[in-house]
Amino acid sequence: MRIGFIGLGIMGAPMARNLLRAGHALVVYGRTRARVEALVAEGATAADAPAALAAEVDAVVTSLPDTPDVEQVLEGERGVLAGARPGLLVIDTSTIAPDAARALAARAAACGVALLDAPVSGGEQGAIAGTLSIMVGGDPAAFARARPILAAIGRQATYMGGAGQGQATKLVNQVIGAVTLAAVAEGVVLAARAGLDPGAVVQAVGGGAAASWMLTNLAPRMQRRDFAPGFMVRLQQKDLRLALAAAARLGVPLPATALVHQLFAAVEARGGGALGTQALVTALEALAGG
């Protein structure tokens, strides 16, 4: 397939590379010239606007920070819909509000474009390895068309229902992941204060009922003070705001999620918004007087 890719950040760039490695012809657009040039050097071609990109391809994949970014890229003056031909497939892997995903899908359909909301989970490592979990909402026929693309960027693509349901599932993912991360951070702080060997703690706890992706992948980074972002605090906060807003509309209390949101706010208040989410441990260390 001839595929366009828009958004070449921490997640987008490795996803685009995996599409190239799978043999797809790739056209890319991004705001950071160096990231575009890196992919061109690997075999992609560059477009000067989302509309121009859309006019050249069979499918477009987007990976963008927030709802307004997706709306601008799709509906802006030089956006994807401005250049789209009927039958274009758009796969949005960003995490945005479910209601916004439904509205965008309806407006795309009016232009003859099928839009899937397909947020991903697995972090930068999963994006690089092509092992992401993908949660998909939209038309079932469009999901069937998207399978070769999804197979190149993820290990598992699960169809969740109509438009917006992929985003709703991602919010569930973020609630579970963030609360688990907080538990891991609390354990790391307790282990350090007790004088336990950091590596031995992860090995011992990871072999039992407390095992998790967060423990295996992020506890060691907390322990060695590696706060480089695989997923930024400020983006996690955006996702938690979306989850809390959705829960409020549905009348669902999320007390643990609300607490984690406040702990991340403490990290942001100290200038840590661009750090990786494992920097949550610094808020707990501050509470412990360390």
Instruction: Please give the average pLDDT of every successive group of 10 residues along the chain, which has 290 residues.
Output: 96 98 97 96 97 98 97 97 97 97 98 98 95 98 98 98 98 98 98 96 97 97 96 97 97 98 98 98 94
Determine the topology of domain 168-287 in CATH.
Answer: N-(1-d-carboxylethyl)-l-norvaline Dehydrogenase; domain 2 (1.10.1040)
pLDDT at 281: 98
Bridge partner residues of 241 (DSSP): none
Sign, CA dihedral 190-186-215-290, equals: negative
The two three-digit tokens of residue 185, written as one number: 């951070």
pLDDT at 104: 98
Please pick, among 170, 221, 234, 238, the residue that the annotation labels catalytic. Answer: 170
pLDDT at 154: 98
pLDDT at 63: 98
CATH class given for the domain over 2-162: alpha beta
Helix (H, G, I), strand (E, B) or coil at 47: coil
The residue ranges of every structural domain in the chain are 2-162, 168-287
pLDDT at 105: 98
Q: Pairing relation of β-strands 120-121 and 114-117? A: unpaired
The two three-digit tokens of residue 38, written as one number: 């890196």
Side chain identity at 21, as an amino acid letter?
R
Q: Cβ contacts of residue 53 below 8 Å, gap of 6+?
A: 4, 6, 27, 28, 29, 47, 60, 80, 83
Q: What are the CA-CA distances from residue 288 to residues 32, 189, 205, 284 (Å)? A: 40, 8, 22, 6
pLDDT at 144: 98
Sign, CA dihedral 131-170-10-59, equals: positive
Q: Are 201 and 195 in contact (CB under 8 A)?
A: no
Q: Pairing relation of β-strands 25-29 and 45-46? A: parallel
Catalytic (active site) residue 170: yes
pLDDT at 272: 98
Burial of 200 (0-12, 13-18, 19+ CB in 10 A): exposed
pLDDT at 47: 98
